[in-house]
Amino acid sequence: MSAYEPVIGVEIHVQLSTRTKMFCGCELSFGDPPNTHTCPVCLAHPGVLPVVNEEAVRRAILIGLALGCEIAPESIFHRKNYFYPDLPKAYQVSQFDIPVCGRGEFLALREDGSELRVGITRAHLEEDAAKLTHAGGRRAGAEQSVVDFNRGGTPLVEIVTEPDLRSASDAATFLRQLRQTLLFLGVSDCSMEEGSMRADANVSIRPAGSHEFGTKTELKNMNSFRFLERGIEAEIARQQQILAGGGRVSQETVHYEPETGHITSLRSKEESHDYRYFPEPDLVPVAPDPAWVDELRAGLPELPGALRRRMVSDMGLSAEDAEVLTEAPELVAYFMEAAEHADPKACANWIRGELRAQLRDAGVEPWDSQVTPGHVAELVGLLEAGTVTVPAAKEVLAEMIASGTRPAEVVESKGLGAMDASELAAIVAELVAANPDQAQQLRDGKDKVIGFFVGQAMKRTGGRADPQAVQALVREAVATT
């Protein structure tokens, strides 16, 4: 099987979360009753004209800048003509040969810390189609289809990559990190489940070492990263099987069925449409003022890619820490504030570990909780100073979550401070004296028995003892008695 190398490129459609649609003033809506956000323009009544949403252009340019794309001084819209009931004009206003964002490059970071470079071919603006619901069967077999034009005309940015990806897991890594970047830009909700981010993958395989491309198939519309990864894997396997059996892959659109893990063919590309693209005469070119573009560039937030690299190289975090902590811009801000006041690695561990675990049941994110980043840093400080033990710190954290009290105050009021060494030594001496059999076993080299003493000590001290200190004291006591 390793005789073949997969070649993968992806196309991502991102619904922009602007207030209004791409070419009219209707508000975007999710979950409102069907056909309540429509007007003559988005319903394509006779005589209407499109007007470009400036905010959508701004967001497309932000995406382009974040992906290192060239921003076209003058991009134009084209009409993509085809008949379908979800497209009321019977053409989609899109961009063709001069998109708003040209070539760029995205740097992703694999879990092992290695760099994944993905060339961006282009990113362009277009409008979404309306939503079709088929009743009584799928598509052609349906008894009835109904159209909801609320979604029709939603601004979309389509991002197209070069065929630079070589595995399903790289594709998933790239898409996850691209999604994070878009979230950081605040341009889209990027929900794969709700369809505000949709990805198609172009997949082909070729003999390892070859520089020619094999015949590609287009894997459509996978609604989660997990399905996307599995779908690509299944398609690679299917193509390998075909080639290994002496067959030829045919250029077609395929669909991954998550329930069965099977790939099914949707339509053959040979019968694909001729979209008769031509420049949209109802719109003038998009010519952003270069000063405005510079302003947008200067105002870009620090993006997850750069953040991850900084976290790993400057702050001593693992690639996995960095990936988790850059999941949401709020989490980054939270972590960064804590890390200013205490050891970053320890802050990372506590935030992505215990804090999130304890908050999970309540369904609260750290930044929405009563625990401030400053409190997290303080707790980490208490641990480092040996003022509290790890088990006690977990208890302190629970109280911080419940009441929003500073950790030092919790330690004080609940008496959770670590015990001083002489008090603990006395307890350990008592324990060793009271359990001569276990002490003897330990002397005889049965090291596991140490756990017994630690457990007893923790019980006696209500968790305030530092387990490491207990161990040391037990060994000392056993050796000297």
Partner 1 sequence: MGLRDLTATEQVAALAAGETSSLELVEAHLSAVEADDVHAFLAIDADGARARARAIDALPERPPLAGVPIGIKDALSTRDIVTTSGSRMLEGYRPVYTATCVQRLEDAGAIVLGKTNMDEFAMGSSTENSAYGNTLNPWDLDRVPGGSSGGSAASVAQRQVPWSLGSDTGGSIRQPAALCGIVGMKPTYGAISRYGLIAFASSLDQVGPLARTVADAALLLRHMVGRDPMDSTSLDWPGDIDVPSATDLQGMRVGVVEELMGEGVEPGVRLAVESALRVAEGLGATIVPVSLPSTLSGLATYYVLAPAECSSNLARFDGIRYGHPLPADNLLDQYEVTRGDLFGPEVKRRIMLGTFALASGYYDQYYGRAQRVRTLIVREFAEAFAEVDLLASPTSPTVAFPLGDRTADPYAMYLADVCTIPVSLAGLPAISIPCGLSDGLPVGLQLAAPAFAENRLLAAAHALEGVLEFDTRPPGLAT
Residue from 91, 174, 227, 335 binding partner 1 (CB under 8 A) = 91
278, two tokens: 């031509």
Q: Are the beta carbons of 84 and 129 closer than 8 angstroms?
A: yes
Q: Closest separation between CB of residue 23 and partner 1, Å?
A: 9
98, two tokens: 């001069």
DSSP result, 326-391: TSSHHHHHHHHHHHTTS-HHHHHHHIIIIIHHHHHTTT--GGGSS--HHHHHHHHHHHHTTSS-HH
Residue from 1, 49, 291, 385 binding partner 1 (CB under 8 A) = 49
Would you tell me how many other CB atoms lie within 10 Å of the CB of residue 260?
9
Residue from 19, 45, 226, 269 binding partner 1 (CB under 8 A) = 45
| Count of chain residues binding partner 1 (CB under 8 A) | 29
Residue from 3, 90, 300, 421 binding partner 1 (CB under 8 A) = 90
Residue 455 in contact with partner 1, rule: CB under 8 A: no
Q: In angstroms, rounded to a whole number, what is the distance separating the alpha carbons of residues 188 and 167?
A: 27
Q: Are the beta carbons of 217 and 253 closer than 8 angstroms?
A: yes
- Per-residue contact track with partner 1, 259 to 288, x per CB under 8 A? ---------------xxxxx--xxxx----
- Only one of the segments 82-90, 170-178, 243-251, 350-358 lies at the binding site for partner 1 (rule: CB under 8 A); that segment is 82-90
Q: Are the beta carbons of 148 and 133 closer than 8 angstroms?
A: yes
- Only one of the segments 87-95, 111-119, 247-255, 366-374 lies at the binding site for partner 1 (rule: CB under 8 A); that segment is 87-95
- Only one of the segments 37-45, 151-159, 238-246, 441-449 lies at the binding site for partner 1 (rule: CB under 8 A); that segment is 37-45
Residue 375 in contact with partner 1, rule: CB under 8 A: no
Residue 83 in contact with partner 1, rule: CB under 8 A: yes
Residue 85 in contact with partner 1, rule: CB under 8 A: yes
- Only one of the segments 39-47, 189-197, 361-369, 373-381 lies at the binding site for partner 1 (rule: CB under 8 A); that segment is 39-47
Alpha helices in 245-318 (DSSP H): 290-298, 304-315
Residues 119-148 that bind partner 1 (CB under 8 A): 140
Residue 236 three-state SS: helix
Q: Closest separation between CB of residue 158 and partner 1, Å?
A: 20
Q: 275 vs 452, which CB is nearer to partner 1?
A: 275
Distance in angstroms between the alpha carbons of the first and the last residue of the chain: 65
Q: Are the beta carbons of 214 and 142 closer than 8 angstroms?
A: no
Residue 47 in contact with partner 1, rule: CB under 8 A: yes
The helix or strand, by DSSP H or E, that contains position 439, with its residue range, turns out to be helix 436-443
Q: 90 vs 300, which CB is nearer to partner 1?
A: 90
Would you tell me how many other CB atoms lie within 10 Å of the CB of residue 172?
21
Q: 23 vs 227, which CB is nearer to partner 1?
A: 23
Q: 17 vs 251, which CB is nearer to partner 1?
A: 251
Q: Closest separation between CB of residue 91 and partner 1, Å?
A: 6
- Per-residue contact track with partner 1, 406 to 435, x per CB under 8 A? ------------------------------
Written as one letter, the residue type at 90 is: A
Residue 363 in contact with partner 1, rule: CB under 8 A: no
Q: In angstroms, rounded to a whole number, what is the distance separating the alpha carbons of residues 86 and 65?
A: 32
Q: In angstroms, rounded to a whole number, what is the distance separating the alpha carbons of residues 69 and 125?
A: 14
Q: 44 vs 328, which CB is nearer to partner 1?
A: 44
19, two tokens: 């207030």
Q: Are the beta carbons of 383 and 362 closer than 8 angstroms?
A: no
Residue numbers at the binding site for partner 1 (CB under 8 A)? 40, 43-52, 79, 81, 83, 85, 88-91, 140, 274-278, 281-284
